[in-house]
Structure 1
Amino acid sequence: MTSCPALFISAPSSGSGKTSVTAAIARSHARRGERVRVFKTGPDFLDPGILERASGHAAYQLDLFMGGFEHCRALLAEASREADLILVEGVMGLFDGKPSSADLAAAFGLPVVCVIDASAMAQTFAALATGLARFLPELRHAGVIANRIGSAAHGRMLAEGLPDDLPLIAALPRDASLSLPERHLGLVQALEQPALRTQLDAWADAWEEGLRPGFAFQPIRFDSPQEPPPPRLLAGRRIAIARDAAFGFIYPANLDLLRALGAELAFFSPIGHEALPGCDALWLPGGYPELHGDALATHPTLAADLAAHVAAGRPLLAECGGMLALLDELTDADGRSHRMAGLLPGRARVQQRLAALGLQSLNWPEGPLRGHSFHYSTLETPLAPIARAGNPNGGSTAEALYQQGSLRASYVHHYFPSNPEAVAMWFGAAR
């Protein structure tokens, strides 16, 4: 068993300010020289990028469906052995989804604090905070955070209505300059925000000014099992991975697993017109190819390199945006069409409304994998799927898995630790 101070930051709903508060706490402690490890609940790529910049350490996902209890427990245990503070940001509202943020917090005994947007509230703030704290008795609540308050007097009024066992931890002011830019999939990626460091410091300043005296993080005891290392089934294999603003949706745990399996990883930037590195296998993760259509279409060698890779029978996995980049044509949200690599027959169009969202379980020929889907584009292709995903919550999203020779593609963002052997079989295939 190991012990480490920890806090689970949740809210009544999305848009309450969980990410900014989590990042503010992380930045406040990291700039004092403390080692902060931050996790994000659920399958999210954008918030973790902000949290990574705030804490100075990769932000991992905790998801009881994609990774499972033991995997999540091992990630928390590893963090507890090296960190001075663990923060976990929730997803949506505290009790939303299956599994929910509350399920995760309860599973590991993490004390919860809810961030409530108090900008249009007075005494109702206390009623909402108390209801959240009492709804599931087995949850431990450390207090509540009032976000976007109008004045110091407003903050005092909010605190007065709270019960003694649910203190107001902090009251943070409403400040439009502290808001982060957003686009159709959520926050703008951290790597696209040159002023992010300055903003993180401003958030940390606001947290330190708004923190009420007497608050202390509670030490939490974590089981300390270590997941046994997987067999080095990819030893001697070199996997090229696209990584830039167009292909940035990468779980850190996926990279860790590929390295643990023995693979050498070689990153390259397609929108930077870098050539495909010499490799035995290739992974094109999701991202925003629709925002970089001109850069991809004018890459002098990418289409030919990809075609040669597949013609040689080397594995290529393309996920969501990576799949779109392999089509004949991609039309962005402004109606502009871009020529893509032409390795997968078909075309896609980015629309203004959400096309699919949900956790996914997908049976690869090598075994079942888990992941999620979240996209605004629609695809037209003559290819017949070799498999179709299921949604554990009974939702309508059920993504197709396509394969053409050594090329495999889907809208699903796969979580590789959900089946290391299947991943190793695919990337290690000698075709």
Structure 2
Amino acid sequence: MLRYSDIPRVVIAGLGGDSGKTLLTIGLIANLKDLFNIAIFKKGPDYIDPSWLTLAGNRTTYNLDTFLMGKRKVLESFISNTKNSNLSIIEGNRGLYDGFDEKGSHSTAELAKLLKAPVILIINASKVTRTAAAIAYGCKFFDKKVEIKGIILNNVYGKRHFNIISKTILQYTGIPVIGFIPKIAEKDILPSRHLGLVTPDEIEYAKKSVNQIKNIIKENVDIESVIQIAKKSKIIKANIKEKNIKKPIKVRIGIFKDKSFSFYYPENIEFLSNEGAEIVELSSFKDNNLKDVDGLYIGGGFPETHIHELSNNKELLYNVKAKAEDGMPIYAECGGLIYLAKELEVDNKLYNLSNILPIKIKMNKIPQGHGYAISKVDKRNNFFKINSILKAHEFHYTNIENIYDNESFDTCMEMIKGEGAYQKREGIIYKNVFGTYLHIHSQGVPLWAKSFVKVAFNYKNRK
């Protein structure tokens, strides 16, 4: 069915990572959420920034990524998830033109063009004046199809600093500077670590931080100009596949949802639910058994940061192990893969885990895999068909350092792009268990949820 969208929308873009995009987007959402029914999106594979945007807006944040999902699915997701909204804010990732290759494929700029959305560009003004205008000029004319309609300066020292830069940018580019973020100790408001920002679930003062950011943006950014820029969006259209009618509940699938495991795309949960799964949230710290579930989905997160608590919850570790041996399906991504290991080494100390997979995993100081990934299924398993090509992403500081039992260690995918789990292999399989470093998105791999529910249903009916 052909659908149209004329919703006002704006892309918040930067010159690179750590440019202030998330802080600005949080502040805009917090200020606008009571005036508009905002649809919130984050460009690219990301779990942490969306969790902050969700907290700021008190509504789900959806990811848009043309590599993981394809252009048609991006348009479908955007139009479907904005149908009851009257404003949309999309946070970009990395630099505006940074993408998959030298052509900038799958960049924030390409997403903005696909969505026909105007761009507000945030520029770091620390220790520069007129050079900021040269940067703005280059961004404007690098791709004239990208409509940069406003600029916000970050790390501004005062009014004089702001005035010099804003006047110069307007003179040379014609783009208005609509606000600034003063020089602040951003790490105290939004603390970070090896995978990016700390998740809000782990910070007691997260709501206070959002309120601080709200006030900073309210005092220094012309929010009305942001609204007017968003209203310059052009109509987009796409053939939208009608959502399947939600199937009756036939299985219960548990997910670990806590400060250690929080990396789940909303669509992955929604797809499972639509296939007939009742989602049961569990805590890897507080629960001592899996309750009466027919399958377990363990997403990514920070198990290495909370390894003491995980390792000490021996009752749950034993229970998960027993369920795996009994044939219960378990799908585990990245941090979830760590949970399935026999051991995890952190700072030269070993911690015992579920021992479902005969592997030792080690935490390292530098990334062992980072970026988009492509794999091909070459062996039978219960989740993906043979010869399927999976587009995913990986970002992990851990690696499999040792395999204790080669006979029971098996994989079902070869890596075409990316590092994978072990020697360019992926998809560690054992009975109905599937462990991987790869993160998939259901919009790009829709059969995953159907397969998961099918295996859980078969397990339930043979118990």
Question: What TM-score, normalized to structure 2?
Answer: 0.87
Instruction: Please identify, of 215-224 and 254-263, the stretch whose mean Cα deviation from structure 2 is larger.
Output: 215-224
Q: Kindly indicate whether residue 115 of structure 2 is the aligned counterpart of residue 113 of structure 1.
A: no
**Counterparts in 2 of 1:48 and 1:274: CA distance versus 1, 3 Å:** farther
Structure 1 distance, partners of 2:366, 2:248, is 40
- Secondary structure at 1:238 match in 2: strand
Output aligned runs, 1:345-364, within 5 Å.
345-364=358-377
Q: Which residue of 2 aligns with 1:146?
A: 153
Query: CA deviation digits over 1:138-161, x for unaligned, max 9?
Result: 111111110110001111111111
Residue of structure 2 aligned with 1:166, choices 167, 170, 175: 175
Q: Which residue of 1 aligns with 2:229?
A: 217
Shift of residue 426, structure 1, vs aligned partner: 3.5
Structure 2 distance, partners of 1:83, 1:161, is 36
Output aligned runs, 1:157-236, within 5 Å.
157-163=164-170, 165-176=174-185, 179-212=189-222, 215=225, 216-219=228-231, 220=233, 221-223=235-237, 225-230=239-244, 235-236=249-250
Output aligned runs, 1:253-268, within 5 Å.
253-268=267-282
Structure 2 gap ranges (5+): 101-105
Structure 1 gap ranges (5+): none
Structure 2 distance, partners of 1:425, 1:202, is 44
Shift of residue 233, structure 1, vs aligned partner: 7.2
Q: Which residue of 1 aligns with 2:41?
A: 39
Structure 1 distance, partners of 2:243, 2:81, is 17
Structure 2 distance, partners of 1:348, 1:213, is 48
**Counterparts in 2 of 1:280 and 1:179: CA distance versus 1, 3 Å:** same
Query: CA deviation digits over 1:212-242, x for unaligned, max 9?
Result: 4861233333436543334767840211111
**Counterparts in 2 of 1:194 and 1:34: CA distance versus 1, 3 Å:** farther
Q: Kindly indicate whether residue 411 of structure 2 is the aligned counterpart of residue 411 of structure 1.
A: no
Shift of residue 133, structure 1, vs aligned partner: 1.2
**Counterparts in 2 of 1:264 and 1:248: CA distance versus 1, 3 Å:** same
**Counterparts in 2 of 1:186 and 1:371: CA distance versus 1, 3 Å:** same
Shift of residue 174, structure 1, vs aligned partner: 0.7
Q: Which residue of 2 aligns with 1:270?
A: 284
Q: Which residue of 2 aligns with 1:76?
A: 78
Output aligned runs, 1:387-426, within 5 Å.
387-391=413-417, 398=424, 400-426=426-452
**Counterparts in 2 of 1:199 and 1:399: CA distance versus 1, 3 Å:** farther
Letter in 1 for 2:154: N
Shift of residue 401, structure 1, vs aligned partner: 1.2
Structure 1 distance, partners of 2:144, 2:167, is 23
Residue of structure 2 aligned with 1:59, choices 61, 64, 76: 61
**Counterparts in 2 of 1:240 and 1:340: CA distance versus 1, 3 Å:** same
Q: Is the 8 A contact 1:230 1:420 kept in 2?
A: no
Question: What TM-score, normalized to structure 1?
Answer: 0.93
Q: Is the 8 A contact 2:334 2:437 kept in 1?
A: yes
Query: CA deviation digits over 1:154-175, x for unaligned, max 9?
Result: 1111111113631101112111
- Secondary structure at 1:44 match in 2: coil
Structure 2 distance, partners of 1:414, 1:16, is 27
- Secondary structure at 1:148 match in 2: strand
Q: Which residue of 1 aligns with 2:140?
A: 133
Q: Is the 8 A contact 1:271 1:292 kept in 2?
A: no
Shift of residue 79, structure 1, vs aligned partner: 3.3
Structure 2 distance, partners of 1:126, 1:330, is 49
Shift of residue 274, structure 1, vs aligned partner: 4.3
Structure 1 distance, partners of 2:154, 2:372, is 30
- Secondary structure at 2:162 match in 1: helix
Q: Kindly indicate whether residue 36 of structure 2 is the aligned counterpart of residue 17 of structure 1.
A: no
Query: CA deviation digits over 1:17-72, x for unaligned, max 9?
Result: 01001111011112x34222221111111111111011111111101011111221
Shift of residue 77, structure 1, vs aligned partner: 1.0
Q: Is the 8 A contact 2:411 2:425 kept in 1?
A: no
**Counterparts in 2 of 1:212 and 1:265: CA distance versus 1, 3 Å:** closer
Output aligned runs, 1:342-381, within 5 Å.
342-364=355-377, 365=380, 366-367=384-385, 368=388, 369-379=390-400, 380-381=402-403
Q: Kindly indicate whether residue 356 of structure 2 is the aligned counterpart of residue 335 of structure 1.
A: no
Structure 2 distance, partners of 1:66, 1:353, is 25
Letter in 2 for 1:402: I
**Counterparts in 2 of 1:282 and 1:213: CA distance versus 1, 3 Å:** closer
Q: Is the 8 A contact 1:145 1:170 kept in 2?
A: yes
Structure 2 distance, partners of 1:190, 1:384, is 36
- Secondary structure at 1:428 match in 2: helix
**Counterparts in 2 of 1:131 and 1:346: CA distance versus 1, 3 Å:** same
Structure 2 distance, partners of 1:234, 1:307, is 29
The count of corresponding residues between Structure 1 and Structure 2 is: 426
- Secondary structure at 1:301 match in 2: helix
Query: CA deviation digits over 1:108-147, x for unaligned, max 9?
Result: 1111111111011110011101111110111111111101
Letter in 2 for 1:10: A
Letter in 2 for 1:100: S
**Counterparts in 2 of 1:213 and 1:51: CA distance versus 1, 3 Å:** closer
- Secondary structure at 1:385 match in 2: strand
Shift of residue 296, structure 1, vs aligned partner: 1.6
Residue of structure 1 aligned with 2:305, choices 264, 280, 291: 291
- Secondary structure at 1:91 match in 2: strand
Structure 1 distance, partners of 2:189, 2:26, is 12
Structure 1 distance, partners of 2:222, 2:279, is 46
Shift of residue 7, structure 1, vs aligned partner: 0.8
Structure 1 distance, partners of 2:223, 2:260, is 44
Structure 1 distance, partners of 2:217, 2:371, is 33
Q: Is the 8 A contact 1:286 1:321 kept in 2?
A: yes
Q: Which residue of 2 aligns with 1:323?
A: 337
Letter in 2 for 1:217: I
Structure 2 distance, partners of 1:114, 1:270, is 40
Shift of residue 308, structure 1, vs aligned partner: 2.4
Output aligned runs, 1:74-113, within 5 Å.
74-98=76-100, 99-113=106-120
- Secondary structure at 1:73 match in 2: helix
Shift of residue 264, structure 1, vs aligned partner: 0.9
Q: Is the 8 A contact 2:118 2:229 kept in 1?
A: no
Shift of residue 279, structure 1, vs aligned partner: 1.5
- Secondary structure at 1:317 match in 2: strand
